[in-house]
Amino acid sequence: MIIPICLFAQPEQPVEEWTGKTILLIGGHPDDDHQSHATLAMLKDHGNEVYILTMTTGNVGTKDPRISRYQLAQIRRQEEVDALKEIGLREENYINLGYDDGRLEFADREEAVGKLVYYIRKLKPDVLFAFDPGYNYQVWQKSDHRAAGYLAADAVRAAEWRLLYEGQIIQDGLTAHVIPEFMFYGGNIPDKNTMVNITDYVEKRVAAGLKYVSQWSSGWRDYRGPNLADYPPEDREAMEKRIRNRIFVENGISYERFRYHKGPPDTMGHAPRD
Amino acid sequence: MIIPICLFAQPEQPVEEWTGKTILLIGGHPDDDHQSHATLAMLKDHGNEVYILTMTTGNVGTKDPRISRYQLAQIRRQEEVDALKEIGLREENYINLGYDDGRLEFADREEAVGKLVYYIRKLKPDVLFAFDPGYNYQVWQKSDHRAAGYLAADAVRAAEWRLLYEGQIIQDGLTAHVIPEFMFYGGNIPDKNTMVNITDYVEKRVAAGLKYVSQWSSGWRDYRGPNLADYPPEDREAMEKRIRNRIFVENGISYERFRYHKGPPDTMGHAPRD
Amino acid sequence: MIIPICLFAQPEQPVEEWTGKTILLIGGHPDDDHQSHATLAMLKDHGNEVYILTMTTGNVGTKDPRISRYQLAQIRRQEEVDALKEIGLREENYINLGYDDGRLEFADREEAVGKLVYYIRKLKPDVLFAFDPGYNYQVWQKSDHRAAGYLAADAVRAAEWRLLYEGQIIQDGLTAHVIPEFMFYGGNIPDKNTMVNITDYVEKRVAAGLKYVSQWSSGWRDYRGPNLADYPPEDREAMEKRIRNRIFVENGISYERFRYHKGPPDTMGHAPRD
Amino acid sequence: MIIPICLFAQPEQPVEEWTGKTILLIGGHPDDDHQSHATLAMLKDHGNEVYILTMTTGNVGTKDPRISRYQLAQIRRQEEVDALKEIGLREENYINLGYDDGRLEFADREEAVGKLVYYIRKLKPDVLFAFDPGYNYQVWQKSDHRAAGYLAADAVRAAEWRLLYEGQIIQDGLTAHVIPEFMFYGGNIPDKNTMVNITDYVEKRVAAGLKYVSQWSSGWRDYRGPNLADYPPEDREAMEKRIRNRIFVENGISYERFRYHKGPPDTMGHAPRD
Amino acid sequence: MIIPICLFAQPEQPVEEWTGKTILLIGGHPDDDHQSHATLAMLKDHGNEVYILTMTTGNVGTKDPRISRYQLAQIRRQEEVDALKEIGLREENYINLGYDDGRLEFADREEAVGKLVYYIRKLKPDVLFAFDPGYNYQVWQKSDHRAAGYLAADAVRAAEWRLLYEGQIIQDGLTAHVIPEFMFYGGNIPDKNTMVNITDYVEKRVAAGLKYVSQWSSGWRDYRGPNLADYPPEDREAMEKRIRNRIFVENGISYERFRYHKGPPDTMGHAPRD
Amino acid sequence: MIIPICLFAQPEQPVEEWTGKTILLIGGHPDDDHQSHATLAMLKDHGNEVYILTMTTGNVGTKDPRISRYQLAQIRRQEEVDALKEIGLREENYINLGYDDGRLEFADREEAVGKLVYYIRKLKPDVLFAFDPGYNYQVWQKSDHRAAGYLAADAVRAAEWRLLYEGQIIQDGLTAHVIPEFMFYGGNIPDKNTMVNITDYVEKRVAAGLKYVSQWSSGWRDYRGPNLADYPPEDREAMEKRIRNRIFVENGISYERFRYHKGPPDTMGHAPRD
C-alpha cells in the first residue's frame, strides 16, 4: 500500500494577506530565521508584529583562529540585528536566550522549555515559525536544530496549560496561551504544503543575508569586521549568489516554502490517526 | 526506487481468537488506552488477563480555572477506573506511576525505564500494547506520548536481561522476561498492519469513553463532577459523537487498527535490514 | 505528490578503489562492526588504516545464568579482538569506551560526545562508518544503536570547531578536524545508495563472525569458552549459516550496503532543503 | 589545640548607619526574609534600596487538606507582599523565581545560579543577605535552605566574571558585578559576629510577621483567608508570641544577629588559611 | 567566644523502655545497620516493630577477584538477612532499594528521595535511625554514607507534605507522615547525646556481626561461602575481636551511642537559631 | 563538653625524608598547587615522582576585558607549566582535564570521578595531595574547590574497587589501586596536623609563584604577556610580597601545613567513630 504523503490543508487565508497578527519565530542560531526573511519582511509590511527568538548565541561557528566565543557572540548578534533591520524589524523585537552554540542538546530541557513558554505567554503569538520537528515521522535535523524544533514544540504544548510553569502566571502575571497556527521551516520538501510568493521581497532577503558576513563570506575564515567593503571584492558576488541560490523559484516566481499547520498543538506533527 | 512501505506479517492467530494471554498496555495519560478499549474489552471477555499502566497522572490538562493538579489527578484516576470497569477491568489491574502530566520527558530515564521493567518482570505479559515508537523511522508524537513510546520500547529490551536492573531480581525475587508480541497504537495509519474487528465491542468502548468527562465534555472548561447528568444536556450527545467518530469503520465493520510485531524486541521498529 | 526517496550520489571513487585513507568505525557494541567486516577487510588490504571504536562493553547480552557483567565484558572484548584479527586489524586499532551495555542512552551526552570528538581529532579519519542516524527522518534504532548513531553525528559536528571541547586542543595538543565522507550502516534498505562488492572478502567476514561465540552460538545460553570446538557439533554449521544469511547477494555477487554521504556534516542526514 | 572560633571583623560602619546602599536578600521560601525584617525595615528607612528575591513559591507547606499547590503559591505571594509592605517595601522590589517548594535541590544548578547571577548583575547590590552557607565548615540546613545558601554563594562568584553567563552581558546588556559585603542569616549562633540593634523596629517586624497567616496561625491546618480577624481569637496572641519569641533580646535591647563578611567572595566562608 | 558544643536533650523516655513503636533504619550498605544492632535487638525484644532499609546492594566491596557484582549482591543480601535473624528480625522486614554500591551519589535525587518517602509513608515509623547528616555543620561521611544521610533527611521532610510526591497518595492510597523522633548513628562522637545500655544484647550483636563474612573475615579477599567453618581457623577469632572492639564500653557497661532528636524534622540538624 | 579538635597522627616518616614515592596532586585550577609548591619541590629533589592534575583550565578568572576564555586557558596552562619548571617538574607530569573554570560543580559527577580514577589507577600514587574535603565536618570551600575536594575523595574510594569503572581495567589494562597516604591542603588551620619545613625551598616557591602573572600581578586587569618585565616596575615587588605573605613562618622557619591522613580511604575525613 502506497499512499500520498502530502495531503495538507493550506492556510484558509493566504499568508500574503495576513495582517494584524503577532508572529514569533524560534530558531537555534542567529541566521536560522534567514530562510523565512522574505515572508517575515512581507508580514511586517502588511501590519503584523514580528518577533525573532534565537536560542543560542552562535558563538562557535567560525574557522577564523583569532575569534573567541565571546567575540563571535557579539559579531553574530550585530549581524542578526542588522539583518533584521533590512526586513523592517527593530532590535527590541529580537530575543536571544544566550545558550552556547553546539550545546543546546545538553541544556536542561525543563528550563529551556520554560524560557520559551515564558515568551509565548508574554508575546501571545498568533503564528509560530519554527524548525519542523516532523510530519508523521521525526525530521532529521542536526543537533541544535533538532533541539530547537522539539523544544519549541514542547513549549507550545506547555504554554497552553495554566498548571504548567505556573510560577510565571502566579508570580509574573502572565496567562496561559494557545498558538493556533504554525509555519514550519527547515523540513523536508515533500512535507511542505504552503508556498509563499516572496517575489517582491527577494531583494530584502538578499540585503538581510548580506549581513551574515562572519558566516557566508570569507569572513568565515578571515574575519575583517561587519563591512563587506573590507573583504576581497569577489566576496560580495559569491555571497549574493549563494543567498539567491537558496531561494526556490518556479515559473519565474520566488517562493519560501513551509509546512503549515492549523489546529490543536497536539496534532502539529501528523496526519489524522485513529 | 520506490518500495512498498507496509509489508508486515499479521498475527498468525487472529487477535479475535486470543485467549489465556496476559496483556499489558503502557500509556502516557489516563485515556491513552481508550483507542484500544474495544479490543481490550474483547480480550478480557475471551479469557485474557489485562493490565493498564499509565505513566502520568494526567494532572495538567484542564481549562477549568478552579481545578488544581491534585484534584485533576484524583478526577482522572476515578474516570480511568470507571472507564476500565466498563470494559470489564478491575481497579486492581490499573497501575499509575504518578509522574506529572506534561513533564515525562524531563524525568530521569534510567529510573522511569526501571519502573516499567519492574512491572514487565512482575506481570510477565505475553503481549504489550504501547504507543508506536516508529516503524523504520521514529514516529512523531507529542511530548509525553513520545516519551511513553520510547520508554516502553527501552523497558522491553532491558526486561529481558537479568544483568540489567538486577536489583529487582536479587532483592525482589523477580526474573527476567521476554515479551514475544506487540500491538502498537497511536502510530501512522500506513504503518498499521492489523485490523481488529471490534463491532461487538463498540458500545463498551463508547460507554468507557463517556467516563472521561473532564477531558471530552464541557467539563474540560467547567467541571461539575463525574456525572454526565450534571452537565448541559447537549454534552452527552457531543461527547458520544466525538467518541464514535474516532472509530474506523469499513464496509460497516468497526475496527481498531494496530501495528503488530512478533519477534525479538530488537526488531520491533523496522523491516529486515542487512 | 509522491517523490522518489532514493536520489543519492554514489562515491565518485568506488569504495573498492579507496586507498591511503584513514577509516574510523563507531559502533555501540562489540559486533556492531560485523555488518561492515568484509568492506573493512578489503579497505585494510587496499592500504587504508582502519580503526574500530565501540562505545559499550557489551556486558549484558547473555542468557547464560553463570556469566557476570565483568566476565561478559572480557569475553566480548576477546571475541572482538579475535574477529578483527580475521579481517587484518590489530588490537591497537581497537578502542572501547567502556560504557555499560544497555545504558548508553542514560550516559551524560556532553561527556560521551566529548570522548568521540577526542578520537576523531586524534585519528583524523577521512571516512566515518556509523549507524545511520537517519535520512530526512530519524531512523528507528533500538536504544544503544539510537544513541550510538546520534552521538556519532553530534561528535562529527563538534569535532570540526576549535571552540568546542577546546580543552582537547589547548591541553592535549589536538586540532579540529572535519570528516569529509561517511558510510552509514544499519539503516533502512531504501535509504542505502552504495553497494560494495565484497565477494572476495565473504570468507574473511565469515571467519570473523565465527568469533562471536557468546552471541551467535549456543554459547549465548551455555558459554563454554571462545573455542567453537568445545560446543555441540551442530553449532558451527548453524552459526555459519546465520552469518552467511545476513549477507545480501544479487546475481551471485555479495554486497555490503551503505548510505554514503559526502559533504558538510550538517547535511549528512537529508536531501537538499530550501 | 583549641582555638577560638569567632574572630570576625565587625562592619567598619555599623549597620545602623548604612545609607544609600543597594541591598539584595536571597531566600528559599516566602518568609525566609522574616528573620531580617527589622534590619531591612531600618535600612529602608535610612535611605537604602532593598530587594527581596525568593527562590521557591512556598507552594507545599500546608496541612490544610483543601489547599492546592497553586492556591498556596498565590496565598504565600500575597502574604509576602503584605509583609514587605509593613517594613516599607513595594511589590516591585519583590522577585520570585517560581521554583517548587521542597524541590530546589533537584533543580538544574547551572540554570538556578544563572538566574541569581542575572539579578545580581541587574540590581548591583552593595550588600547581600543570604542563608549562611557556612563558616569554615558547611552549615547544616534543611534541603531548600541548604540549596538557597549554596546557590547564592555560587552566584556571587559567577556574577563577578564577565566570561561566565556571558549571554547576559552580550545579549541583555548587563555587566559583571562584585558584591563587596555580606550579611549571612540562618546560621549557627557561634558563627555570628554582628548584632544589629533593632529595638525601634521590633513592632514593624511583628506587624510583618502577622501576615504569614498560612504558616504561623491555625491557618496552617485550616486556612480562612488572609485576614487574622477570620481566625479563632486566640490565634493572634499565639502568633504574636511566637514571632516575638524568635527575637533575641539582651539587656533590654532587641537584636537581629548575622555573620558579616567583607572582602572577596572567595573567602566568604572561612577564616584566613595558608 | 567558645561555647559548649553538646547541649542536647536526652529522650524523655529512655530508649531502653521504648515499646510499641515502629522503627525504621535507613542505611547505605548491608551492614550499615550493624552499629545499631544491639539497640535494635533490644527494641524488637521490647515489642517494637523494626524495619531495615538499605539503599545499595553492597555489590562492589570485595577484593576477591572471582566475585562479580551480581554474586556479591546475592552474598551481601543473604548475610544481611542472616544477621537480622540473629537480632530477631524476619526477612519480610528487610527492604533493599537495589542501587549500585559506590554510585548512590550519582543517582537521581528526586527519585531516590521519592522511594524513601514511599516507605516512610507506608511503614509510618515513630523513630528513624539514619546516618547523621550533621549537627550544626554537615558531617563528613564517605560518598554513599553522605548520600544516604542526606537523602534520608530530605525524605523525612518530603514525607510530611501531602503536596509532595502526591502520586503516592492519590494513586497508591498512602498518606503523609511525620516522623517525630530520630536516632542518628555514624556521626562524630562529640555530637552524640544518647547512650543506650546494650550490655544484655552484646552477644546478639556479635552473633549478627559474624554473618558478614564477605566483609570482615578473610572472605573479603578469598570468599569461601557463608559458613565461617569453611575459613581458616583464626578467622573467627579475628572477626569476633574486630566486632567487639567497635563497641564502646564505659565502666563495664556496653553502649551504642546516638545523636537523638525530637521535634520538627526541620530542626533535626542544629541547635536553636534565631 | 569541649574536646580537643586536633588529635591527629603525624606521618611516621617525616615528609622531609620521603623518597622513592609517587605523588599525585589534584587541584581545581592552575595555581591551586602553589600552596604546596615548596613541599613538592623538596619531594622532587628527594627522588620522588610528582604529578600535578588540574581539573579546570582556569579560563574565567580575568578582569582584562580583552582576554577570551580560549586565550586565558592558553595563558594559564603556560604559566602552570612554567611554574612547575621552577620546582623541577616537566610538562609531561602535568595533566589538565579541560573542564571550564567556575563550572566544575555542574559537570557530570560520575564522569568526572571516572577521569580521576583513571589517573589514580594509571599513576598509582603513594600519596595524594588534595583540597581538604573536611575533618569530621565538611570544610567550606568555594565552588570549584568544593567540587575538586569531594571528587578527589570519591575517586580515591572508587579507584580501589575493581568492580567500579571496570571498563578501565578490562579495556585499558589498568588495575585497581589503593592510595595509602594523604596530604590535604586548603583546609582550616585547626584541622592541620603536619608542618613541613620548607625553609630551603621558599625561593623555589617564590620563583614558581612569579609565573602566575595573569592572576597575581596587574596582568589580572591588563595582561601584557608572560614576561614580568613587560609590566609596571612595582608589579614584581607587590607580587613577590603577596607570594611571601602567604607562607606561614614560625620561629624563623617556613612551613607548609597540611592535614595528613594514613589509613583506609573511608576514614580520611574523620576521627574514630563508633
Alpha-helix runs per DSSP H in chain C = 37-45, 69-86, 109-123, 143-159, 167-170, 202-209, 213-216, 233-245
Indicate the pLDDT class of residue C162, thresholds 50, 70 and 90.
very high
D53's grid cell: 528575591
B71 neighbourhood in chain D, CB within 8 Å: 68
Within 8 A by CB and 6+ apart from E159, the residues are E116, E117, E120, E121, E165, E176, E177, E178, E179
Residue B181: name the closest of B48, B58, B90, B69 by CA.
Answer: B48
C58's grid cell: 557489551
Please state, in angstroms and rounded to a whole number, the distance separating the CA atoms of residues F37 and F51: 12
Find the closest chain E residue to C67 by CA distance. E68
- Mean pLDDT score of chain B: 95
E69 neighbourhood in chain C, CB within 8 Å: 68-70
Q: How far is CA D227 from the centre of its chain?
A: 24
The nearest CA of chain C is from the CA of B107 a distance in Å of 12
pTM over 0.80: yes
Within 8 A by CB and 6+ apart from F187, the residues are D273, F131, F132, F134, F135, F139, F259
Sort strands E22-27 and E127-131 into parallel, antiparallel or unpaired. parallel
The CA distances from residue A71 to A58, B159, D163, in Å, are 10, 50, 11
Task: Give, for F27, the enclosing helix (H) or strand (E).
Answer: strand F22-27
Q: Dump pLDDT digits (tens) for B75-93.
A: 999 999 999 999 999 999 9
Confirm if F30 and C170 have CB atoms less than 8 A apart. no
Contact D273 F187 (CB under 8 A): yes
Contact F110 E103 (CB under 8 A): yes
Contact F137 E141 (CB under 8 A): no
- pLDDT at residue A57 in the model: 97
Contact A166 D73 (CB under 8 A): yes
F161 neighbourhood in chain E, CB within 8 Å: 60-61, 102
Q: Dump pLDDT digits (tens) for C195-204.
A: 999 999 999 9
A2 neighbourhood in chain B, CB within 8 Å: 2, 4-5
Query: In percent, how much of chain D has pLDDT > 90?
Result: 95
Residue E201: name the closest of E15, E28, E32 by CA.
Answer: E15
Confirm if E26 and E1 have CB atoms less than 8 A apart. no
Q: How far is CA E84 from the centre of its chain?
A: 12
Residue C118: name the closest of C158, C58, C77, C163 by CA.
Answer: C158
Sign for the CA dihedral angle at C248, C250, C255, C260 comes to negative
- pLDDT at residue B9 in the model: 57
Contact E187 F273 (CB under 8 A): yes
Q: Strand, helix or coil at F232?
A: coil
Q: Does the pLDDT of residue C164 top 90, yes or no?
A: yes
D204's grid cell: 514593624
Over residues C25-50, mean pLDDT: 98
Contact F70 A69 (CB under 8 A): yes
Amino acid at position C50, single letter: V
Confirm if C113 and C55 have CB atoms less than 8 A apart. no
Pairs of CB atoms within 8 A across A/B: 76
Pairs of CB atoms within 8 A across B/C: 76
Closest to C171 (Cβ–Cβ): which among F77, F108, F111? F77
- pLDDT at residue E274 in the model: 86
Q: What is the 3-state secondary structure (H, E, C) of A29-59?
A: CCCCCHHHHHHHHHHHHCCCEEEEEEEECCC
Angle at B192 between CA A180 and CA B29, to 5 degrees: 50
- Mean pLDDT score of chain C: 95
Contact D102 E137 (CB under 8 A): no
Confirm if E167 and B73 have CB atoms less than 8 A apart. yes
- pLDDT at residue C144 in the model: 94
D247 neighbourhood in chain E, CB within 8 Å: 274
Partner chains of F (3+ C-beta pairs under 8 Å): A, C, D, E
Chain B residues in contact with chain C using a Cβ-Cβ cutoff of 8 Å:
1-3, 109-110, 133-138, 153-154, 157-158, 161-164, 265-266, 268-274
ipTM: 0.94
The nearest CA of chain A is from the CA of C235 a distance in Å of 40
- pLDDT at residue F9 in the model: 57
Closest to C274 (Cβ–Cβ): which among A61, A143, A246? A246
The nearest CA of chain E is from the CA of C68 a distance in Å of 6
Find the closest chain C residue to E108 by CA distance. C106
Q: Does the pLDDT of residue E9 top 90, yes or no?
A: no
Over residues B2-21, mean pLDDT: 73
Contact F4 D3 (CB under 8 A): no
Q: Strand, helix or coil at D135?
A: strand
Residue B100: name the closest of B138, B67, B73 by CA.
Answer: B73
Contact B164 C102 (CB under 8 A): yes
**How far apart, in Å, do the first and last CA atoms of chain D sit?**
18
Residue F64: phi and psi, rounded to 5, are -80, 115
The CA distances from residue B125 to B83, B178, B182, B193, D74, in Å, are 22, 9, 10, 21, 46
- pLDDT at residue C9 in the model: 57
Phi-psi region of B47 (alpha: psi -120 to 50; beta: other; left: phi over 0): left
Confirm if E269 and E132 have CB atoms less than 8 A apart. no
Find the closest chain C residue to A35 by CA distance. C274
Indicate the pLDDT class of residue B58, thresholds 50, 70 and 90.
very high
Over residues A119-133, mean pLDDT: 98
Best mutation site among E171, E174, E175 for testing chain B: the one with the most B CBs within 10 Å?
E171
- Chains D and C contact (Cβ–Cβ under 8 Å for 3 or more pairs): no
E125's grid cell: 515509623
- Eight-state DSSP code of residue A197: E
Chain E residues in contact with chain D using a Cβ-Cβ cutoff of 8 Å:
1-3, 109-110, 133-138, 153-154, 157-158, 161-164, 265-266, 269-274
Best mutation site among F171, F172, F174, F175 for testing chain C: the one with the most C CBs within 10 Å?
F171
Closest to C138 (Cβ–Cβ): which among A2, A4, A140? A140
Q: Dump pLDDT digits (tens) for F141-180.
A: 999 999 999 999 999 999 999 999 999 999 999 999 999 9
Stretches where chain D sits below pLDDT 70 are 1-9
Over residues F24-51, mean pLDDT: 98
D70 neighbourhood in chain B, CB within 8 Å: 68-69
Over residues E194-216, mean pLDDT: 97
Find the closest chain A residue to B100 by CA distance. A164
Q: Dump pLDDT digits (tens) for B39-51.
A: 999 999 999 999 9
Q: Does the pLDDT of residue A4 top 80, yes or no?
A: no
Q: Dump pLDDT digits (tens) for C57-114.
A: 999 999 999 999 999 999 999 999 999 999 999 999 999 999 999 999 999 999 999 9
Find the closest chain F residue to A107 by CA distance. F106
The nearest CA of chain E is from the CA of B89 a distance in Å of 17
B163's grid cell: 544483568
Indicate the pLDDT class of residue E63, thresholds 50, 70 and 90.
very high
Please state, in angstroms and rounded to a whole number, the distance separating the CA atoms of residues C187 and C190: 9
The nearest CA of chain E is from the CA of F169 a distance in Å of 12
User: What b/e string do you get for C155-181 counting C-beta neighbours within 10 Å, with b at 16 or more?
Assistant: bbbbbbbbbbbbbbbbbeebebbebeb
Partner chains of D (3+ C-beta pairs under 8 Å): A, B, E, F
The CA distances from residue E83 to C2, C50, E40, E198, E245, in Å, are 71, 55, 12, 17, 18
Contact F110 C110 (CB under 8 A): no
Please state, in angstroms and rounded to a whole number, the distance separating the CA atoms of residues C158 and C169: 13
Residue F12: phi and psi, rounded to 5, are -60, -50
Count, residues in chain C = 274
Confirm if C174 and C121 have CB atoms less than 8 A apart. yes
